[in-house]
Amino acid sequence: MEKMDRRDFLKRVGAGALVTGAGALGSGVMVPTGLWAQAPKIKGPIKVGYQAVLSGTLAGYGEFHKMGAQLAVEEINQKGGIAGVKVEIEFRDSTMKPDDAIKNARYFVDSWGADYLAGVDSSGQALALAPIMDKLDRVLMVTHAATEKLTEEWVFKKGIKQIFRMVNSTYHDSNAAAFIAKDLPALKWATVSPKYEYGFTCWKLFQETLKKLKPGVSFPAESWAPAGTTDFRSHINTIMDANPDGLYSTEWAGELITFLKQAKQAGLFDKVKHVMLPVGAAMDVLEGMGAEMPDNLWISGRYFFLYPNNKDNNDWVARFRKRWNHYPAYVSEAGYSAIYALKAAVEKSGSKETKALIQTLEGMELDTPAGRRLFRKEDHQAMYDVPWGKTKGDPKYPFKIMGESKVIPAKSYFSRPPFEGPGADPPFSS
Amino acid sequence: MKLKSWQMALVVLSLLALVGVGLFSGRFMIYLAMRVMILAIFALGYNLLLGQTGLLSFGHGAFYAAGAYGLGFFGLHLSSHPLLGLLAAVVLAAVLALIIGFFCVRHTEIYFAMLTLAFGMMVFSLLWSAREVTGGDDGLVGIMRDPVSFFGLLEIPIGKDRQYYFLVLAVFVLSAWAVQRIRLSPLGLALSGIRENANRAEFAGLSVKNYRLAVFVISGAFAGLAGGLETLLESNARPFMAHWGHSAEPILVSLLGGLQTFAGPLAGSVIFIAMREMVQRFTENWMLWFGIVLLVIIMGFRGGVVGVFQRLIGQAGGGR
Amino acid sequence: MLQSVVQVILAGLSTGMFIWLVASGLTLIFGVLGVLNFAHGSFYMLGAYFCFTVLKYMGANFWLGLILGPLCVCVIGFIVERFFLRYVYHIALPYQLLLTFAFVLIFDNLVKIVWGAGSISPPALAALGGSVDVLGRKFPIYNILIIVVGPLVALALWGMIEKTWWGRIIRASSSDREMASAIGVRVPALFTSVFVFGTWLGALGGGLAVPYVGIMTSGMGETIIIEAFIVAVIGGLGSLKGAFVGALVIGVLTAFGTRFFPTFDMFLTFILMAGILLWRPQGLFGVAR
């Protein structure tokens, strides 16, 4: 019985190899060449598989993703679709877990027949998806996950060309913050940040860059808050004991609200005058804090709905508000632009095949609500400028907005390919 | 115990179906089937502890993670041979189970459950905080599937999902067979005796603690095997594998299928994964509907799905 | 330094009291019914949401919300016990866990459907939003209130269980169910009342937590239930005194660890939990069952 099992097993493995071999050959033969490639005809519909977190404490982010992507699909279909073909979109709950992210992506591609993937919230999920993207062979447009490893290690070094990122990465949250911080009259900086890779990475990069930009700075205290922290009082005391000039915090979403409220009660903002919140310009935070948001905190994000102040963006915000009765969050803008990136790539290349999309997207410029984006050829990171600004009240809005904003060009703070050796990391001499 | 003819037929049919899935179905189906089999290996081993011995562990995720990270580290630093990696996964998980089990098996019932929970969460926090080694919450990523090589004479590629499927299937069949052998062995009978009445077993001259430790290590080793297989499948290992939420999965699966039967965890694994997939297809509110289905199963099939099925068969056959 | 130590102790005490409010209901239910209720965190969450709703839509003040909100949750607790949990008392412990786990999924999702996916952040309380000066550093009045309310609840519980008729039946039934039943106690009704009361405690904890945490989300019960669980186990499952002491220990320990050891980790909490269980499996104040 046992022996038969083993022999059986080998036979089955052999058979399996044969079948897949044939499959590989088949698809090789099927690739359109010659005449067929000259006159492409897209067979509709174009299907988009979008995953975002739709359950648990961060479910609000998923809803914001959905609003943006859904609006784009409705607009496009109303005007006749992409190259005459309708767009279909399906959303799935990513639950923030890497294994669910993989299952969703596989479902979208292998079962539902998606042509294009977008979404993904956490860095862990993005990194888990990276190694299978060449097998699934669809473009994955990441609209939230921030880890720089995704584009540097996986796209640039390991050549997983299917991955693109629509939004800023950890560099914006750390290096750009350092460029702002260098001009502030603050020499001692401390942090309260999330106790996971994102928080650790940002704080490390912020320190390194700020040290280079402004010799003489010191970092007297750091305090880490695990996911799910509801009581920041000990963290706040850590900071107040160190008596720094500046506070840098990559807390985000609900935990940032809790932190800000408790810090305000404890009088932290009376003592520490310079506060930098790289993801403070998120709509859930601004609306959640309402009038309680202290003034003069430096905030930023992936996009803020009042920037750029041009017709394209203002019109978009109006359309978004009309459709959803909400101001667009940064993930909404990213979700919206992810669909338009697909539209631009398909129309330009005349195909929805992954290979053609990748070729077109590489180095492509795209006008989006957040401004003009350039998908950097080497690592597929979208380069665009997001402002930093100080919170201030405005009678037009029931929440604090970003006043007097300052724009650091993305080019000056994103690490440059080949991401190694001197000259790869900011600040750049030229 | 000899298999009844309908049971034998069921086994053969299931095997044929599994081979058929591997040969003919689409890539997503193959992937789901692998997830089912890996969960089933985890649950089958686990049920030796819960169903057979009556010990409720809330920490087996730790051994699953030990297998996953064990295979990952082995692959990154020593050898990327998948079978050696799986061996390393099993060994590491078993050693960890031996250490943790040594402390836990003196207690039973809720105390045992709480102790295993505490130890499991210790492993979870270690994996989360030892970032330099484990990659923190990002986990170990990019673990690739090299061909299975037999001393350089024969190389079987497993890089494609369809190829890897047959390795998972083989390991699954071997594991199921091994678990069944253990259940029917003198060890298995002693374990049932301990479940029914630990004092009597002690009087009968069994060293209850040692038996419990033995089954704890065995179930831990199966958890490690499942963890190793998943890491090869998903090419990553992550701290959440050791979290109590993941430790609860084999419990859930065993309860769904039925605790006291061999096939319970198998049926439970199929139900768990297939049901979630189906619910997710028709609604975004999958938690709500998944919860409702769980409620129905608990209230309606209190002996697990397999138990109820067997009772129905028994009645239909007019049997005992 | 001294001001920081005092602040950290106060912070630890107030955290501990929140955990205590949740752990007390969990402990009471386990002590009498023998059920480990995973859904207790959901009652905490529902308590928060119902208080908020009463506050917002009925224009009531915070205190009225705190009375009415948890009462609404009690109705839900009643349904859970009377129509579901009651039927699994006689089967194995894991089934009870699974049942309450199913309710966690259902309640989390229902909250998302009813109140929306995004987080809700109610405005600060007008009356109790201020702070007092403690050695030159501000400490919120609200948290001082919590540090007072916690022991009051403990005292009230103690009085109820030791001094009232209901408490005597509870004690009798939790030590010997059959005996209580034989002397004419209607055990099922008693169980329902205890479960509903435990639910009320959890919901009250949730309602009180909102002004302090500053935000509500679906899934907010999951962190607190683990902490309450650890506390209940360390103190001794079923022992209210144990849960009270355990909550203080964990609250103060976490606050100190976070302040003075930046690398402080949950790891230490679980080592403490395992250590206590190995030394005294029944927990600090538990009675071996």
What string of DSSP letters covers B238-279?
-GGGGSHHHHHHHHHHHHHH-SSSSSHHHHHHHHHHHHHHHH
Model confidence at A8, pLDDT cuts 50, 70, 90, reads very low
CB pairs under 8 A between B and C: 96
Dist CA A419 CA C117 (whole Å): 39
* Both structure tokens of C73: 């949750």
Assess contact for C36 and C100: CB atoms under 8 A.
yes
Q: What is the pLDDT of residue A254?
A: 94
Strand partners, A90: A49
On the question of pLDDT at A34 being above 50, the answer is no
Put simply, whether B149 touches A (Cβ < 8 Å) is no
Superfamily of domain covering A171-301+387-413: Response regulator (3.40.50.2300)
Dist CA B220 CA B105 (whole Å): 13
Q: Does residue B208 lie within any of the structural domains?
A: yes
Count of structural domains within chain B: 1
Q: What is the pLDDT of residue A198?
A: 96
**How would you list the strands of the sheet with A188-194, edge to edge?**
A218-225, A188-194, A246-248, A274-277, A298-299, A388-392, A401-406
Q: What is the pLDDT of residue B314?
A: 65
- Strand extents, DSSP E, A36-86: 46-52
Put simply, whether A196 touches B (Cβ < 8 Å) is yes
Tens digit of each residue's pLDDT (9 = 90 or more) over A63-117: 999 999 999 999 999 999 999 999 999 999 999 999 999 999 999 999 999 999 9
Put simply, whether C88 touches B (Cβ < 8 Å) is yes
On the question of pLDDT at A11 being above 70, the answer is no
Model confidence at B116, pLDDT cuts 50, 70, 90, reads very high
Dist CA B104 CA B220 (whole Å): 13
Q: Please answer yes or no on whether B291 and C270 come within 8 Å at the CB atom.
A: no
H helices present in A350-407, as ranges:
354-361
Q: Where in chain A is the domain with CATH 3.40.50.2300?
A: 46-168+309-383, 171-301+387-413
For residues A23 and C265, which has the higher predicted lDDT (pLDDT)?
C265
Model confidence at B89, pLDDT cuts 50, 70, 90, reads very high
- Kindly report the pTM of this predicted structure: 0.92
Share above pLDDT 70 across residues of chain A, in percent, rounded to a whole number = 90
Q: Does residue B305 lie within any of the structural domains?
A: no
Q: Does residue B13 lie within any of the structural domains?
A: no
CA angle (C143, C146, C152) in 5-degree steps: 155
Q: What is the pLDDT of residue A108?
A: 97
- Strand extents, DSSP E, chain B: 140-141, 148-150, 154-156, 236-237
Question: Which 56-95 residues of chain A touch chain B by CB within 8 A?
Answer: 91-93
Q: Does residue B53 lie within any of the structural domains?
A: yes
Assess contact for B158 and B216: CB atoms under 8 A.
no
Share above pLDDT 90 across residues of chain B, in percent, rounded to a whole number = 71
The boundaries of the domain holding residue B36 are 23-241
Tens digit of each residue's pLDDT (9 = 90 or more) over C98-143: 899 999 999 999 999 999 999 999 888 777 778 888 888 888 899 9
What number of residues does chain A have?
Answer: 430
**How would you list the strands of the sheet with A365-368, edge to edge?**
A365-368, A371-375, A382-383
Put simply, whether B283 touches C (Cβ < 8 Å) is no
Dist CA A366 CA A341 (whole Å): 7
Q: What share of chain C is helix, strand, coil (3-state, %, to 5)?
A: 75, 5, 20
Q: What is the pLDDT of residue A408?
A: 95
On the question of pLDDT at A25 being above 70, the answer is no
Which residues, 6+ apart, have CB-to-CB distance to B247 below 8 Å?
B57, B58, B59, B60, B61, B62, B64, B116, B117, B120
- Residue B114: name the closest of C101, C235, C257, C255 by CA: C235
H helices present in A267-310, as ranges:
268-271, 283-289
On the question of pLDDT at A121 being above 50, the answer is yes
Q: Does residue B307 lie within any of the structural domains?
A: no
Phi and psi at residue C284, to the nearest 5°: -60, -45
Lowest mean pLDDT among A37-46, A411-420, B154-163, C160-169: A37-46
Q: Please answer yes or no on whether B142 and A99 come within 8 Å at the CB atom.
A: no
Cis peptide leading into A308, omega within 30 of 0? yes
pLDDT < 70 stretches in chain C: 59-60, 288-289
User: CATH classification of A46-168+309-383, choosing from 3.60.20.10, 2.60.40.1930, 3.40.50.970, 3.40.50.2300?
Assistant: 3.40.50.2300
**If you measure CA to CA, which chain C residue comes closest to A283?**
C118
Q: What is the pLDDT of residue C289?
A: 53
- Residue B257: name the closest of B243, B244, B270 by CA: B270
Buried/exposed A258-287: b ≥16 CB within 10 Å, e otherwise? bbbbbbbbbbbbeebebbbbbbbbbbbbbb
How large is the ipTM? 0.94
Q: Please answer yes or no on whether C117 and A63 come within 8 Å at the CB atom.
A: yes
